[in-house]
Amino acid sequence: MQKHAARRLHYDFRLEVDGVLKSWPIPNGPSYTHGEKRLAVMTEDHPLDYATFEGVIPKGAYGGGQVIVWDAGIYAPEDRNGRPCFDRERAEALVRKGIEQGKLTVFVHGRKLHGGWTLVHTRDKNWLFLKKDDAFADGHDVLAEDASVLSGLTIEDLKSGRVPDPAARQPLLLEPAHLPGARRGPIPRTLSPMLPSVAERPFSNPNWLFEPKLDGYRVIATLANGEVHLTSRRGLDCSAEYCASSPIETRSWTARSLPSTSRDTRRFSCCRTGAASHGRTWCTTRSTCCFETATTCAACRSSDAKHC
């Protein structure tokens, strides 16, 4: 999003799609208040390199005035289930469809704008820009953050004759390693994963993701120097306690419960700690260890079992 002091100050909301920038100038800027309507006027597509433009457009030229990159980040359009779509091909198709049908919701992860925002077509080139009712809709005055995310300059700085310094320019999409003073450090020895919370009844909400609560152990998987390590939420290394051939370590797990479908969790605990040393068998059908060394699971009679 660029802040543009042309004939009238406005904020240009731009989305990259199909190799161009779809653009909506918003005269009053975005609002973090849910339900507050902000006019957005759709204009012609802009080339991608315009996304990083900062400076002064000469007076008399189209859009003459001062321009800064007020915010930058990534976005994902909402799919039909109310979830962000991160597949580029599908995402661009969703944006095209949303513009055609006159309603487009995107999830934004910028440095100033966060969460869900909806564009609704009213008539002609006029749209409404609305904040979705989510955890970020707190009503704070985001327009008070008036400096560029690339140069740190404001519109007033440009009016006073200051120009962006290319040497001090921040990248458009900020990586942690690019932050001032950032330095490489070791992976933390302990991390606190998100834990299940109790609710009175089941509910559906596009701002939430759900997973089954299975019996098992909450672990955190870290990948460093090509090696995967599993630690408990108390910081204990439990990598050696699981079979290298099990389906658990071949998948990309971060903070999950290593599942056991056995109803007797004490039996699973016994298997888990002793399977490797006693030659027991991991059953990929039941996701639990068997007490036999044969390739058939004693519990479900499946032949889909592997030795630890």
Q: Single out the residue of 67, 154, 70 nearest to residue 110, CA to CA.
A: 70
Note whether 42 and 102 are within 8 A (CB): no
- Residue 243 vs residues 52, 258, 277, 308: alpha-carbon distances, Å: 50, 12, 11, 5
Are the beta carbons of 111 and 174 closer than 8 angstroms? yes
User: Contact 279/308 with Cβ under 8 angstroms?
Assistant: yes
pLDDT for 285 equals 41
Q: Which of 125, 159, 213, 306 is catalytic?
A: 213
pLDDT at residue 258, as a whole number: 52
CB 22 within 8 A of CB 106: no
Q: Torsions phi, psi of 124, nearest 5?
A: 50, -125
- The single residue listed with the structure tokens 């004939």 is 7
User: How much is the pLDDT for 245?
Assistant: 38
Q: How far apart are CA 207 and CA 306, in angstroms?
A: 39
Q: What DSSP element (H or E) covers 229? A: strand 227-232
Pairing between β-strand 55-57 and β-strand 227-232 as defined by DSSP bridges: unpaired
Closest CA to 149 of 107, 116, 178, 190: 178
Please say if 213 is a catalytic residue: yes
Q: Quote the tokens at residue 301.
A: 């009679």
Residues 272/257, Cβ–Cβ less than 8 Å? no
Task: Give backbone dihedrals phi and psi of 34, rounded to 5 degrees, phi first.
Answer: -60, 130
Strands, E assignment, 51-186: 55-57, 65-69, 73-77, 103-110, 114-123, 126-131
Q: Give the separation between CA 55 and CA 159, rounded to whole angstroms.
A: 10
Residues 233 and 218 sit within 8 Å (Cβ to Cβ): yes
The half-sphere exposure of 32 on its side-chain side, counting CA atoms within 13 A, is 16
pLDDT digit string (tens) for the chain, length 308 residues: 999 999 999 999 999 999 999 999 999 999 999 999 999 999 999 999 999 999 999 999 999 999 999 999 999 999 998 899 999 999 999 999 999 999 999 999 999 999 999 999 999 999 999 999 998 999 999 999 999 999 999 999 999 999 998 888 877 777 777 777 888 887 776 777 777 777 788 887 766 777 776 667 778 888 777 788 888 878 788 887 775 534 433 333 344 455 443 333 333 333 333 333 334 334 444 444 433 333 444 444 444 434 33
Of 155, 228, 238, 147, which Cα lies nearest the Cα of 187?
228
Q: Which of 101, 259, 111 is nearest to 171 (CA)?
A: 111
Angle at 288 between CA 195 and CA 282, to 5 degrees: 130
50, 69 contact by CB (below 8 A): no
- Helical (H) or strand (E) element with 155: helix 155-159
